A = this chain, B = another copy of it.
Amino acid sequence: MTICVTTIDRSAGTLANSLAELGVATVHEAQGRKGLLDAGLRPIYRPASIAGTAVTCEVAPGDNWMIHVAVEQCQQGDVLVVTPTSLCHDGYFGDLLATSLQSRGVRGLIINAGVRDIATLTEMKFPVWSAAVCAQGTVKETIANVNTTIVCAGQTIVPGDLVVADDDGVVVVRKEEAIAVLDKARQRVANEEDKRVRFEAGELGLDIYNMRERLAEKGLRWIESED
């Protein structure tokens, strides 16, 4: 059965802005290096940085019909996440759909396929992370699921999970883990600020992290010349 689920748990949505500020690399580290979408998803303009609750959408190859169904499920603070059911780089999404999403307060689009009208999307400041840019349009013939659990660019996305995206890529945070991840990410940033000051002052990572002894134990030898 093909379904569109109309009620999803957005309880973690209040944490989105804080995660967006921390950034993808920090959030990814803080949750134990999991949840990163394939690095082939790139922002259509830079810099760009968002976070929000995932509304998920499957699409058939060359067919963007279900994006229209998904738009109705989107609310203020959401991020639309779209995955094709097989590899396709067509331009599934353009400025009209972006206008529709922007009017609903949606923060951006993550799509493991192509988009078009990127000059207009850039002017509108509607951020998109996509696998391709392609002017090739799509048809509206085949249905698929909206707001079910999907795999997008190598990661499982459950509707209502938090999606964080910036110039470094896209990461998903499980809604039930979001508080703990946020906490760890903040610790990490605080710790990094301290490190940054020391690095700026010229201190070495070898000393800051006490690496010299362990390197020597592993067998590294410092020598003056190779000959």
Contacts and interface: CB of A to CB of B under 8 A. Distances in A.
Interface of A: 1-7, 23-25, 28-29, 33-34, 36, 39, 42, 46-47, 49, 60-63, 65, 68-69, 71-72, 85-91, 94-97, 99-100, 103-104, 114, 116-119, 122, 132-137, 139-143, 147-149, 151, 154-156, 166-169, 171, 192, 195-196, 199-202, 204-206, 209, 211, 215, 218-226
A169 B104 CA distance: 29
Given A119-B46, A143-B219, A154-B154, A86 B68 contact: no
A133 B37 CA distance: 12
A114 B168 CA distance: 10
A204 B90 CA distance: 22
Given A135-B28, A225-B5, A199 B99 contact: yes
Contacts of A88: 61-62, 86-88
Nearest to A223: B3
7 contacts: A2-B221, A33-B85, A95-B196, A99-B196, A103-B200, A143-B219, A147-B226
A105 to B, nearest CB: 10
Contacts of A142: 62, 139, 141, 218
A195 B164 CA distance: 30
A199 B96 contact: yes
A116 B196 contact: no
A154 B154 CA distance: 5
Contact of A91 (B69, B97, B168, B220): B168
A214 to B, nearest CB: 9
Contacts of A132: 39
Top 7 closest A-B pairs, CB basis? A61-B62, A68-B205, A141-B141, A39-B134, A135-B168, A99-B199, A100-B199
